[in-house]
Amino acid sequence: MRGGVSGFETVDESVDEIIVGRRTSFYSRPEYASAPVELEPTRRRIQRSERRRLIAFADEREEDETHLKPEQVHLSISGDEEVTVVWTTREPLEEDFEVRYACAKRNSEDEEEKDVIDRVVSSKTQTTWHIGKVFESSSYTQQMCLASATSLTAPSMGGPKTPVKRDVLAKLANTSSWADRDASNYNVVNSFKDVVPDAWFTMEKPWEKTVCLGYANANGGWYRSPFIHKAKIKDFNKERGFDACVYVLPHDEDENGETKYRSFKKRGSSNTNEGETILSVMGDTGQTEVTKKVFQHVKDVVKPHAVIHTGDVSYADGFAPRWDSFAELSEALFSSVPVVIASGNHDVVNNGAEYTAFEKRYETPWRRSASYSKNFWSFNVGKAHVVHIDSYSSVSTQMFDGAVADTFQTWLENDLARVNRKQTPWIIAVFHAPWYNSNSAHYKENEPQRLKYEQILYKFGVDVALNGHVHSYERSYPVYNNQRDECGITHIVVGDGGNYEGPYGSSWMTPQPSWSAFREGSFGAGSLIVHNDTHMSWKWERNACVHPDGTTDLNHTYWSMRDGESASSCRTDQDKSENPYVAVDMHVFVKNENKCETRKMGTGIGGEKLTFTEIDDEEGGVASSSNDQYRIQSLTVALALSLVCLGSTCYALWKTTQALKRARFAVSVRAVHRTTFDDEDEEENGVELNVSNSFHAAQDVDEGDEVLLFPGGQNRITSSSNVM
């Protein structure tokens, strides 16, 4: 059968017949003559070919640019006047990439972020762009594990990226899909039970256990992190009253393909009176719908200068990709508000399944607080000194420890002794596991640390301690050694950030201890507002209540929020606290040094103390022409001084210079004299020193003369020809 479209012929032969050669082509010569084939392509064809090549190159480049687009951006507090911007890319960046940033003064406290950015970017004369050099760019590998299979596969609260799907785990574990049958890592997995047996969920002992995909499972047992980049943003303008900074990351574009600018509030300096400092406090966040609500409230309502996270950040619990999903969830908040994170059990221990990700992704100020560990640190923010104690570091040297535990007690005492209460009158301690907690969950879990460190914090007049770990909210009265003490520390547990393990409101201990002021089993976040030298206020706000909504696969209660429910009037079911409907708890700290002598403790020099491992580039860089401006200014000053030096003034300066040189030489001579005769016990009459023409002795010395040094400092100058 012949068809009339383009001269092609439709045939009835099967494909097999065509393959074996009965017919080599469907092509049939057209009835009209075709133009002869050109031996050389025309210019038009070259242009078309080039255009197609350029389009393909552009598509490939666009795809590459997508892989270089910054993701998971956050700002880690790494010093008093420094933050580290951290971001990830799918592919490594080229060499010599950098972050550009500029700081400015906001027109008002309520000025929107977009308006600040527009004003900084559009300013041509008042904005100086600095360069933040990238000091680390890396990726890491981690074995895929479940440190808490109960919560990961059957969480008590849900939200983005939860739960971890069982069929996915089974597919990853099934090496028979790719390994050879005779390979040692060949493993047939038919269902999730072949990965995690039922006994895992029902056995009570040991309670803490981890299961991992096989270490030899090269096509599913390992996780490769994105490329993690870190650059320092330093506050060059702290003395100029700037209170907002704008920064630009390499390859960062908005949805319109335009350069994307980000910004954050500058933290107040202890050396200036810049008004109030707002610190948001949250903990045990995880990544659920409740977490999202807490983050949104902090960003839009609290609008803090910094976030203090009391630990247990992502609740990845060994399932490494959940560190990525948490960073995506928190980016809107943490890319615009610098955060510092306490080391929680889900971050640094967690049955051996965690620490690498937390250490690689989040910075702390340890290098700028003379610490030996990333999990012991301190920094100043406004009029407050914040110090962190690792809840998971032994308080006494144990059998297999490689370090003396008292090292960190000494560090804590030295750090608090350095505090200058005139600069930072308030001291805030942060540690994950609470010392004062009236919930049966984690009760007295950190008692050894309290017995070790509480007396130190009390001695130095610490005002407040911030904790997490317990998934509820509780504030104490000032307390010391389990007794109310007006000079004691106010302990605040903020472990109600929204993680998937659900609320702890049903496990309050009764009666409520005398030191416990307020407690509630809902979800929210708090804020510390440092007003001035004598007043600081605390405010906890409930952001969500949850209610039973069926059961999980393991027959546990599943909790969820109700649509349209107001956080200001709700109550979390089964909350046995005394005030379950109260949506806000507030407290005002008033410093009274006359009653509490410990509040005067800490009269040190203040400021930072660098760890010897910190390589600190104090010069930084400037992205604009500011370096040229500084050079011009320096040359101008030099020229002016040169003009002043004319005549008698120049002569006077020259004489002064000679006098200084003679003085320095005399000191050097005395040192040589002392070393020669004291250390070596020389009994000779003198020591000969050649004097070059760049130095002069206390008397006028001609070039080529020598100096004789005698005991008692009686020296004489002789001609080189007279020296015996």
Question: Does a structural domain hold residue 409?
Answer: yes
> What is the DSSP-derived secondary structure letter of residue 689?
E
pLDDT band at 629 (very low <50, low <70, confident <90, very high): very low
Question: Does a structural domain hold residue 280?
Answer: yes
Question: Does a structural domain hold residue 682?
Answer: yes
Domain count, the chain: 3
Range of weakest confidence among 24-38, 198-212, 246-260, 357-371? 24-38
Q: Which residues contact 663 (CB under 8 A, 6 or more apart)?
A: none
447 with 500, same domain: the answer is: yes
701 with 657, same domain: the answer is: yes
481 with 426, same domain: the answer is: yes
More confident residue, 269 or 511: 511
Average of per-residue pLDDT values in the chain: 80
Token readout for 565 is 């429910």
CA nearest 231: which of 69, 81, 82, 68? 82
370 with 311, same domain: the answer is: yes
Burial of 547 from C-beta contacts in 10 A (0-12 / 13-18 / 19+):
middle
Look at residue 68 and tell me whether its pLDDT is greater than 70. yes
CA 504 to each of CA 245, 468, 493, 516, 551: distance values in angstroms, whole numbers, following the listed order: 40, 12, 12, 16, 17
Q: Cα–Cα distance between 708 and 710 in angstroms, integer?
A: 6
Question: Does a structural domain hold residue 445?
Answer: yes
539 with 488, same domain: the answer is: yes
**Domain of residue 707, residue span:** 645-722
572 with 678, same domain: the answer is: no
Range of weakest confidence among 91-95, 107-111, 235-239? 235-239
Question: Does a structural domain hold residue 628?
Answer: no
CA 186 to each of CA 213, 533, 698: distance values in angstroms, whole numbers, following the listed order: 13, 67, 86
399 with 351, same domain: the answer is: yes
More confident residue, 50 or 284: 284
Look at residue 332 and tell me whether its pLDDT is greater than 80. yes
More confident residue, 290 or 209: 290
Question: Does a structural domain hold residue 609?
Answer: yes
Phi, psi of 177 (to 5 degrees): -75, -15
603 with 654, same domain: the answer is: no
Q: Cβ(465)–Cβ(457) under 8 Å?
A: yes
Question: Does a structural domain hold residue 204?
Answer: no
601 with 670, same domain: the answer is: no
What CATH number corresponds to the domain at position 348? 3.60.21.10
681 with 558, same domain: the answer is: no
Q: Which residues contact 209 (CB under 8 A, 6 or more apart)?
A: 200, 351
pLDDT at residue 453 in the model: 97
The amino acid present at 32, given as its one-letter code, is Y
CA 490 to each of CA 280, 309, 586, 612, 624: distance values in angstroms, whole numbers, following the listed order: 17, 18, 13, 34, 48
CA nearest 287: which of 356, 333, 223? 333
Mean pLDDT of 425-445: 97
The long-range contacts involving 208-212, CB below 8 angstroms and separated by at least 24 positions, are: 208/351, 209/351, 210/145, 210/146, 210/147, 210/318, 210/350, 210/351, 210/352, 210/353, 211/145, 211/146, 211/149, 212/143, 212/144, 212/145, 212/146, 212/318, 212/353
CA 512 to each of CA 66, 443, 491, 578: distance values in angstroms, whole numbers, following the listed order: 55, 13, 15, 9
Helix (H) or strand (E) holding 331: helix 321-334
Helix (H) or strand (E) holding 118: helix 113-122
- Domain closes at, from 33, 52, 67: 67
559 with 694, same domain: the answer is: no
pLDDT band at 613 (very low <50, low <70, confident <90, very high): low
392 with 471, same domain: the answer is: yes
Q: Cβ(674)–Cβ(694) under 8 Å?
A: no
- Domain closes at, from 28, 52, 67: 67
Q: Cα–Cα distance between 338 and 328 in angstroms, integer?
A: 16
pLDDT digits (tens, 9 = 90+) for 11-49: 333 333 333 333 333 333 333 333 433 434 444 444 555
Question: Does a structural domain hold residue 276?
Answer: yes
pLDDT at residue 676 in the model: 38
Structure-derived torsion over alpha carbons of residues 639, 644, 646, 651, reported in degrees to the nearest 10: -120
| Helices vs strands, H then E, count in the chain | 14, 31
Three-state SS string across 241-288, please? CCCEEEEECCCCECCCCCECCEEEECCCCCCCCCCCEEEEEECCCCCC
Q: Cα–Cα distance between 265 and 271 in angstroms, integer?
A: 17
Catalytic residues: 442
Token readout for 566 is 């107001």
